[in-house]
Structure 1
Amino acid sequence: MEMTSRERFMAALNGQPVDRLPVISVCQHATYDQMEQLNSYWPDAMYNAELMARLAGGAYNILGFDAVRVPFCQTHEAEALGAILKEGGREGLPSVKTHPYNIGDPVDFPEDFLSRGRIPHLLEAIRLLKSQLGDKVIVMGGVIGPFSIAGQILDITQMLKIAYRKPQELVSYIEIGEKAGTMLAQAMIDAGADVIAIEDMMCSLDMITPKIYRELAAPYQKKQIEALSVPTILHICGKLDNIIIDIARTGCSAISVEPVVDVPAALAKFRAEGITTPLIGAIDPVNTLYHGNVEKCREETRACMAKGFSMISPGCAVPPATRIEVLKAIVETVQEAKN
């Protein structure tokens, strides 16, 4: 019997049988082709809830994915905490231009946090997605993880240097990051989000050591996850093999990884520890989705299925120039495997 996208996603998340593996994008999934088809373009779709929901809905309505998610960028919390953004225009995403704090500055959490910047539009977009698609598909809200928000409100280069030498000097900023992400996630849940994706990209082992992850990232991820009433997917970029057990022990419902992670080895470690946390991934977003073609995408999708992923997803944000037919090939390949 064929499952709905909602049923398929939740069954996979809970380790139950599925009719086929779910296909989602844990990170942003908007593309220029979808913008054209839906008449919803950046940057307007980042400031208008109706346009945001319309473009996000393309993941289900056009691509056939089992979840839709907002936002498209990673700057809502940082902007609300005082960062000045550099706009991405029609083809790119906003980024932090000016950091509001230097290390050593006192930090204050704004009482009107949820009313700042584009957050009200983001929450309304979730309400719209829930009302329009919530009976069919998972509505996912994305927040930035505590360590990474700290890396946005501070100069990341200085932050990483201090993390090695005087880690305690960063605690107040990471605490603010946790509070901001948790408050936004709770508001998303109230607006109708079924799942929260936490992107803590800056605590990759490409940037920090396992010791720093365990001391400055994992405890705040765990605190955040415990405060949320819906399933959570934790996404961290890069190589995670030396901390994959630590990530699972944050209590997240699933872990989203990039192609560099040794998935069979990670699952073997999980089995040895009695851990059942699902892994999600990991189609290469650049070499396969952006530079590749339909056949290459099909080949990598089959490889991901063979590795033991519980859900198939791009390994990180979808490059917006990715062609629709390449993304649809993921769903088609999984569907063919079912048949």
Structure 2
Amino acid sequence: TPAFNDLKEFKVPEKIIEKGRFPIKHKVEERLRREYGDYLPIANQVTGPFTVAGHIFGIEKFLIWTKKKPREEIEETLRMIADINIEDSKEALRSGADVICIADPSATSDIISPQFFKEVLVPIYRYMVRKIGAPVVLHICGNTTAYLPYIPDTEIDAFSIDAQVNIGFAKQILGDKVSVVGGVPTISVLLFGNPQTVRKAVLEAIAQGVDVVMPSCGIPPRTPTENFRALVEATKCMIYV
């Protein structure tokens, strides 16, 4: 059940990052920094504004509103959610995070147009990047090929692409402006594959020009540990080739 039935009902609670699971997450970041910070980057993930809007209003309803309600109301709501992300990110950086990852899966081109992405979401992401003041990775699920020409305008440091996006084409469009990360399909390769298929995917991703080898999307809980090891080992081996 959606938490709000209208955009004007939406209010952000005071001191929101002191509520819910925010404090637990930041305590975990402090622990990760103490135990692994000397040799592993610590990333803090925030759920992006468009996806959060879908959660609190209902994604179907919010999509309809993007067509029927004044654009200014949509932008104001997304900006309010972005401010929560920014506050969370700044606390994460104080707690030990090195990188902020904005995961906005519902912003996929499967349900919104490239024009909406360009006109509404690009300015929101750029606003977040400038306020956060640290390296930012943006991940959007699905085929984001149509978004690629607009990605540099977000001012993000890296764009995490899903398995549906051709790595070589993404590199061709983004060039040296934005790093391309991802390349290893999470379902067909990491979950249902084996170390051999994982190594093959890693080699193919590197050959196509991926800047950072990573899973292409969220990792299913039952993914075999040996497949993760294969991803790391194959990537490290290629560094020295």
Q: TM class by shorter-chain length?
A: over 0.9
Aligned residue in 2 for 1:59: none
Task: Please give the alpha-carbon distance, in whole angstroms, between the structure 2 residues aligned to 1:217 and 1:167.
Answer: 15
Shift in Å at residue 266 of structure 1?
2.1
| Alignment of structure 1 residues 1-339 onto 2, 5 Å | 98-166=1-69, 168=71, 169-271=73-175, 275-337=176-238, 338-339=240-241
Shift in Å at residue 186 of structure 1?
0.8
Q: C-alpha offsets along residues 61-118 of structure 1, whole Å, 9 cap, x if unaligned?
A: xxxxxxxxxxxxxxxxxxxxxxxxxxxxxxxxxxxxx321123432222112011111
Native 8 Å contact 1:103 1:159 kept in 2: no
Please list every run of 5 or more consecutive structure 2 residues that lacks an aligned counterpart in the other structure: none
Shift in Å at residue 249 of structure 1?
1.5
Task: Please give the alpha-carbon distance, in whole angstroms, between the structure 2 residues aligned to 1:99 and 1:224.
Answer: 25
Task: Please give the alpha-carbon distance, in whole angstroms, between the structure 2 residues aligned to 1:291 and 1:260.
Answer: 17
Q: C-alpha offsets along residues 139-162 of structure 1, whole Å, 9 cap, x if unaligned?
A: 111111121111111110111122
Task: Please give the alpha-carbon distance, in whole angstroms, between the structure 2 residues aligned to 1:145 and 1:297.
Answer: 29
Task: Please give the alpha-carbon distance, in whole angstroms, between the structure 2 residues aligned to 1:104 and 1:140.
Answer: 31
SS of 1:102 mapped into structure 2:
coil
Task: Please give the alpha-carbon distance, in whole angstroms, between the structure 1 residues aligned to 2:29 and 2:35.
Answer: 10
Aligned pair count reads 239
Native 8 Å contact 1:248 1:255 kept in 2: no
Native 8 Å contact 1:258 1:315 kept in 2: yes
Going from structure 1 to structure 2, the CA distance change for 1:106 and 1:171 (only over 3 Å counts) comes to farther
Native 8 Å contact 1:178 1:224 kept in 2: yes
Task: Please give the alpha-carbon distance, in whole angstroms, between the structure 1 residues aligned to 2:142 and 2:70.
Answer: 22
SS of 2:146 mapped into structure 1:
coil
Q: What percent of counterpart residues are identical?
A: 26
SS of 2:5 mapped into structure 1:
coil
Task: Please give the alpha-carbon distance, in whole angstroms, between the structure 2 residues aligned to 1:285 and 1:195.
Answer: 22
Relative CO higher for 1 or 2, CA cutoff 8 Å, sep ≥ 6? 1
Native 8 Å contact 1:196 1:233 kept in 2: yes
Please list every run of 5 or more consecutive structure 1 residues that lacks an aligned counterpart in the other structure: 1-97
Q: TM-score, normalised by structure 1?
A: 0.68
SS of 2:193 mapped into structure 1:
coil
Native 8 Å contact 1:164 1:212 kept in 2: no
Shift in Å at residue 305 of structure 1?
0.8
